Copies of this chain bind each other. A is one copy, B any other.
Amino acid sequence: MITTSLSIARTSRVPGAMRVPSCARPCARSTRSGAETPRNAGEPHRARHLRAAVPLQRHDPQRPRAGPARVASSGSTRMTLVGVDWGSSNLRAYRFGPDGAVIDRRESPRGAARLKRDEFPQVLADTLDGWLEADTRVVLAGMVGARAGWHEAPYLPCPADPAGLAAAALRAEDAPAHCFIVPGLSARSASGVANVMRGEETQILGSGLADGTIVLPGTHSKWARVEGGRITGFSTIMTGEMYALLRNNSLLGQLAEGDAPDEAAFTLGAQRALDNPAGVLPLLFSARADVLLGSLAPQAVASYLSGLLIGGEVAAMRDAAGQGVVLICNAVLAAHYRVALALAAVTDVAVVDGADAVARGLWRIGGLLK
């Protein structure tokens, strides 16, 4: 089940785009972002309190579905840490050295939304085969902790800090090692509007938690506020999902031809979204009308629509941006958000790679586990 196994010596820098497809549109960082998977959504909660300590199990050939990973032969007894970003569609595992550097990395397509509850232990054992020592702790973040995942780790309300997240981590007893599932976060605005995230909280921790606004573009973009080392609240904009729905399922997208990037069309869309005081809603249909009137090439529709939506996201959240933002995403998406943010006069933009951030966040929580 292991699709990639890279040795990355003495650095947590993971090259390339791990969480975002290399396209010019907001077509999702990961389908797990902030969205509970619907499978078994109606199933009653279970396993809310699974903290009974369970020793590392030894391999037993009679229990292939829930057996442990093969324990590394080093025989070392020092504490080691493994981090797992287990989203809906795949999982990414990081093996940390004693200083927090990522010394090995693996990926598997066996995402949380594709597994039955009792399949999680074996998938984890397969993925981490050879990495586990007697006292290895495994920190898991993402949809693995959703209601329809392995065990539900209930949302922790904001404000939340790293120690709070570590304290609320859920220990899974049916695991091939000392496994802790990081909870998601919830927030509610002053007017009562609810938000949830699951996985992004770990990336935000990994970004350093400097005061300001952290933006995680994607299927469900998150705009989080960080104050005094805590995540104090956040908003969600369904930019990536809206793009996919409008491009692929709507009457709007039926005149579009292809998805080749068109920078001018993207910028035009973003500029219009930022200029229009009534917001992006009255602009979306122009992606179709302009084609019918011959003033937009069908080949430019996808980028124009992407510009409208990312511009609309930035316009809606411009007040939250304040002096600047930290973007957590890959380079392609960051370039597009930079364009829209610059049009909104937000030029103080730092970029943190999403895979980097999640690895550092997992390490940070792992160090705080009691």
Q: Hey, which bits of chain A sit against chain B, CB under 8 A?
A: 31, 34-36, 38, 41, 147, 155, 186, 188, 191-196, 219-220, 223, 235-239, 241, 245-246, 249-252, 254-255, 272, 275-286, 288-290, 292-293, 295-296, 312-313, 315-317, 319
Contact residue among B245, B281, B293, B319 (Cβ-Cβ distance under 8 Å from A194) = B293
How many copies make up the complex? 2
* Residues from chain B with Cβ under 8 Å of A147 in the complex: 292
Which chain B positions have C-beta within 8 A of A254? 38, 41
Contact A250 B238 (CB under 8 A): yes
Closest to A282 in B: B235
User: Are A251 and B241 within 8 A (Cβ)?
Assistant: yes
The 5 A-B pairs at the shortest CB distance, nearest first, are namely A38-B254, A236-B285, A194-B289, A279-B279, A278-B316
14 pairs, A vs B, C-beta closer than 8 Å = A41-B255, A191-B272, A193-B272, A194-B286, A236-B282, A236-B289, A237-B285, A238-B252, A238-B281, A278-B317, A279-B279, A279-B280, A281-B312, A281-B316
Q: Besides A186-B293, A236-B285, A245-B250, 5 other CB < 8 A contacts?
A: A193-B286, A196-B293, A279-B281, A280-B281, A282-B317
B191 & A275 in contact (Cβ 8 Å cutoff): yes
* Chain B residues, CB < 8 A from A281: 237-239, 279-280, 312-313, 316
* Most B CB within 10 A of own CB, among A35, A38, A223, A276: A35
A34 nearest CB neighbor, chain B only: B285
**Do A285 and B191 have beta carbons less than 8 Å apart?**
no
Q: How far is the CA of A41 from the CA of B291 in the complex (A)?
A: 10
Whether A282 contacts B250 by the Cβ 8 Å rule is no
Q: What separation, in Å, do the CA atoms of A289 and B196 have in the docked complex?
A: 6
Q: Which residues from chain B contact A38 at a C-beta distance below 8 Å? A: 251, 254-255
A286 touches B316 (CB 8 A): no
| Most chain B CB atoms below 10 A, which of A251, A276, A277 | A251
Which B residues lie within 8 Å of A192 (CB)? 272
Closest to A197 in B: B289
- Chain B residue nearest to A38 (CB atoms) is B254
Closest to A187 in B: B289
Task: State whether A295 and B194 are in contact (beta carbons under 8 Å apart), knowing that A38-B255, A236-B285, A278-B317 are contacts in the complex.
Answer: yes
Q: Which residue of B lies closest to A275 (CB)?
A: B191
Residues of B within 8 A of A296 (CB): 194
Minimum CB distance partner of A278 in chain B: B316
Cα–Cα, bound, A198→B288 (Å): 13
Name the residue among A192, A236, A289 with the largest chain B CB count within 10 angstroms: A289
Which residues of B lie under 8 Å from residue A255 when comparing CB positions? 36, 38, 41
Once A289-B186, A292-B36 are accepted as A-B contacts, the answer to whether A284 and B316 lie under 8 Å apart by CB is no
Partner of A245, one of B239, B245, B278, B312: B245
Which B residues are in CB contact (< 8 Å) with A36? 255, 288, 292
Q: Please name all residues of chain B whose beta carbon is closer than 8 Å to the beta carbon of A194 when the two chains form the complex.
A: 286, 289-290, 292-293, 295-296
Residues B278 and A195 in contact, CB atoms below 8 Å apart: no
With the chains together, A191 CA to B277 CA distance in Å?
12
Q: Which residues on B sit within 8 Å (CB–CB) of A250? A: 238, 241, 245
Given A41-B254, A251-B38; A279-B195 close (CB under 8 Å):
no
B251 touches A35 (CB 8 A): yes
- The CA of A279 and the CA of B242, in the complex, are separated in Å by 15
- Bound state CA distance, A193 and B281, in angstroms? 12
A238 to chain B, nearest CB (A): 6
Which chain B residue lies CB-closest to A254? B38
What CA separation (Å) do A245 and B278 show in the bound complex?
22
